[in-house]
Structure 1
Amino acid sequence: MGNAVRGIVAFIPSERCQRFLVGDLEEMPLDRTLDLSGRQLRRLPAAACVFGELVKLYLSDNNLSSLPAELQGLRKLQLLALDFNCFEELPAAVCRLPQLSILYLGSNRLWRLPGELRDLKELSTLWLETNCFHVFPKVVCELSNLKTLHLGYNQIQSIPRELSQLDELRSIWLAGNQLAEFPPVLLEMHLLAVIDVDRNRIRHFPALSHMQGLKLVIYDHNPCLNAPEVGEGVRRVGRWAD
């Protein structure tokens, strides 16, 4: 949206402004998907919360910092995209979406996660990259169905041992953090397929050849003195890679 249009919108009363930005939300989309990305929204229109059959809701690239309690009425929602917004805390309503399996929260201002996140029993994909985490949010270790975790580009220095409880986890992305050593807990997670520790401060890599499920390890841009030993067929991306 151009600057001239934003200037016009600034003089439209709130409700009319919402209709201008998102249009009239009167009928459930046929594909049960609602995309309100990039609309400069500061709040979610109430009309978006009445579609009880909605499966996917995209709210990326707005100016949202909160969500209404009515969001929890979307009981069949499976995908929620909240990346590129202004959230400092995860709205409580998000933790009350029983079918949610994919949650995008990247590029916000999050520095912690609520304990209620553990209630998302179906969550399999969680993106938290480019936020303000200095400490690994331990509640993530209680998401028993989690398969993909993206925590890149934060300020995390260590990974808790409790992560090994995630038997379903297959890919973990930790690039751009402050890890000074390869997280020991990852050595216990033999079924991990993808490990990304690019752009950290790791100087020594242990052998990973015992990790039977490993397919890809990314370790570039570390001050490392060796490359990780891997099993046959495992791709390495970094210094001294094959």
Structure 2
Amino acid sequence: MSEETLARLRSGALAGTQRLDLRDAGLAEFPREILALADTLEVLDLSRNALDTLPDDLPRLHRLRVLFCSDNRFTELPAVLGRCPQLEMVGFKANRIHTVPGHALPARLRWLILTDNAVESLPPALGQRPRLQKLMLAGNRLSALPDTMATGSTSLELLRIAANRFGALPDWLGTLPRLAWLAHGGNPLTAAQEAHALDGHALPDIDWSRLDTGAVLGEGASGVIQQAAWQLPDGTRQPVAVKLFKGAMTSDGSPSSEMAAGIAAGLHRGLIGAQGRVVGHPEGAQGLVMPLIDPAFGVLAGPPSLDSCTRDVYAPDTRFTPDAALSLAAGIASAAAHLHAQGLMHGDLYAHNILHDGAGGALLGDFGAASFHPSPMADALERIEVRAFGCLLEELLARCGAADPALGALQARCVQPTVALRPGFAEISTQLDAVR
């Protein structure tokens, strides 16, 4: 399809287009014909090619807002990006980038993806991009973030620094007024806790030979989930779901960190927890056995879009009764309180990671961004995640009728800019139970 699109581009048939997808087009050089779309092109995807440079006159694309160049051969973030006047989303995942010049960061930068590269340091200019909301840096070689971010990244809401070389988290993360979604697993600062979870036998081993797998239920960046029947020692067969990890770096971090968190999370009625750990897979794959969820449960919302950036996208007709919204919020708050009591933050507390039954029942899943607390920052990390819950509560209240005013007051406390003044999840659960 991309080769067909390239042929149409070169024939002039795409004049006036706003979005151009040239993934897997076999490109070794930037097609000059793209520049003829200067007056209309806003989104350009050049992923999965063999590019290592961009043209100096790329800023001729004066309406370009989004550029994806993942899975190419760049070794340096191209300086020309900094001269693109409207560019706000930059994606260079899985290249060979080791250098990020400050002048390569566009003035309007809102979303930067440098996952799975070889970056060892970032320029002070990163903290001088006041619109930055989403920063994805998992799978690099970072041991620090620019100090300028402490005061200059007040719009930052989502940060992924998992699978790097951090020995400690910057103290100032706990002061950023809008930070809500943080992943920092797979660093030296959490290595001992992850190793203990993986080696501590908190879950029973389930031999692959006792699992009869069936239909694929879903596939994400970190693994594949299948329906299965687990043959118990007494001969009975229990319906379960099995997640086999791919072993590849994801935008949230490494599968081993996800597995450690899933094991350490334990069981809770509001979590899609693990029942056992897969052993004896013929290809050595790691995996977890989880309960099979009632098909009455569906995903609460879709993930963020290019435009919404950090906020989930709900179906236009999504509505909740006040009782259902309250029940859902209380269930998720209780699950989050349980996680933090185990020394974990979920890292991705979003509606798109919640299954619900439409009547207030809810299950929080997907531990891909979950991280252990470094003990000196446990309170700050919990209150960072409280803001994520506050965003969820805001979304629920916006889609139901007249709710108890106490919920609006609680939501405001959860998202207030002074992180230390936000309530913890135990207090939130108590307040929600009092309203029910």
TM-score by length of 1: 0.76
Distance 1:135-1:51 versus aligned 2 partners, 3 A rule: same
Unaligned segments of structure 2, at least 5 residues: 194-339, 341-346, 350-366, 390-424, 427-436
The answer for the alignment partner of 1:172 in structure 2 is 159
Determine the C-alpha separation between the residues in 1 that align with 2:171 and 2:100: 23
Q: In structure 1, which of residues 133, 136, 147 is the aligned counterpart of residue 133 of structure 2?
A: 147
The aligned counterpart of 2:8 is 24
What amino acid sits opposite 1:96 in the alignment?
R
- Equivalent residue of 2:59, what SS? helix
3-state SS of 1:86 partner:
coil
Residue identity opposite 2:123 in structure 1: P
Distance 1:226 1:72, change over 3 A: closer
Q: Does 1:54 align with 2:38?
A: no
1:39 aligns with one of 25, 46, 50: 25
Regions of 4+ moved over 6 Å? none
Note the aligned Cα RMSD (angstroms): 3.4
Aligned partner of residue 107 in structure 1, secondary structure:
coil
Aligned residue for 1:187, secondary structure, equals helix
Stretch of structure 1 that moved more, 42-51 or 65-74 = 65-74
**Other-structure match for 1:228:** 378
Partner residue, 1:156: 142
Aligned to 1:4: none
Partner of 1:113: 100
Shift of 1:40: 1.8
**Equivalents in 1 of 2:131, 2:384: separation in Å?**
28
Q: Supply the AA of the counterpart residue of 1:228.
A: A
C-alpha distance 28-162 of structure 1, shift in aligned 2 (>3 A)? same
- State the match for 2:327 in structure 1: none
Could you tell me how far 1:219 is from its partner in structure 2? 4.8
> What is the DSSP-based 3-state SS (H/G/I as helix, E as strand, rest coil) of the residue aligned with 2:104?
helix
1:89 to 2:76 alignment? yes
Cα distance in 2, alignment partners of residues 131 and 182 from structure 1: 20
Residue of structure 2 in register with 1:127 after alignment: 113
In 1: Cα distance, 2:373 partner to 2:107 partner: 38
Q: CA deviation at 1:29?
A: 5.4
Gaps of 5+ in 1: 2-18, 209-213
TM-score, scaled to structure 2: 0.44
8 Å Cα contact 1:175/1:196 also seen in 2? yes
Aligned identity (percent) is 25
Greater fraction strand: 2
For 1:227 and 1:144, locate their aligned partners in 2 and report how far apart those are by CA, in whole Å. 25
Moved more, 154-163 or 27-36: 27-36
Secondary structure of the residue aligned to 1:202 is: helix
Structure 1 CA distance, aligned partners of 2:61 and 2:384? 46
How far off is 1:233 after superposition?
Answer: 7.3
Kept in 2, the 8 Å contact 1:58–1:82? The answer is: yes
Tell me the secondary structure at the aligned position of residue 195 of structure 1: strand
Work out whether 1:184 is the aligned partner of 2:165: no
Give 1:178 shift.
Answer: 0.9
Distance 1:188 1:40, change over 3 A: same
Contact kept? 2:127, 2:147, Cα under 8 Å: no
Quick check: 2:127–2:149 contact (8 Å CA) kept in 1? yes
C-alpha distance in structure 1 between counterparts of 2:87 and 2:50, whole Å: 22
The change in CA–CA distance for 1:92 and 1:36 in structure 2 (over 3 A counts) is same
Using the TM superposition, give the Cα deviation of residue 138 of structure 1 relative to its aligned residue in structure 2, in angstroms.
Answer: 2.8
Structure number with greater CO (CA < 8 Å, separation at least 6) is 2
What is the CA-CA distance between 1:115 and the residue it aligns to?
2.6
1:197 aligns with 184
Distance 1:227 1:168, change over 3 A: closer
Q: 1:159 to 1:81 in 2, by over 3 A?
A: same
Per-residue Cα deviation, 1:141-182 (whole angstroms, up to 9, x for no partner):
121110000011001112232112111111111011111112
Q: For the Cα contact (< 8 Å) 1:199–1:219, is it kept in 2?
A: no
Q: Secondary structure at the match of 1:186?
A: helix
Query: Hey, which of these two has a bigger chunk of helix by percent?
Result: 2
Q: Secondary structure at the match of 1:80?
A: strand
**1: distance between equivalents of 2:384 and 2:8?**
56
Provide the secondary structure at the position in 1 that maps to 2:135.
strand
Amino acid at match of 1:74: L
The alpha carbon displacement at 1:28 in A equals 3.5
- Could you tell me how far 1:133 is from its partner in structure 2? 0.9
Asked if 2 retains the 8 angstrom alpha-carbon contact of 1:49 and 1:73, the reply is yes
Q: Structure 1, residues 117-137: CA drift from partner, whole Å, max 9, x if none?
A: 34x222100001111111233
Cα distance change, pair 70–136 in 1 and its aligned pair in 2 (3 A): closer
Q: Following TM superposition, by how much is the alpha carbon of 1:224 offset from its aligned partner in structure 2, in angstroms?
A: 5.5
Q: 1:60 to 1:139 in 2, by over 3 A?
A: same
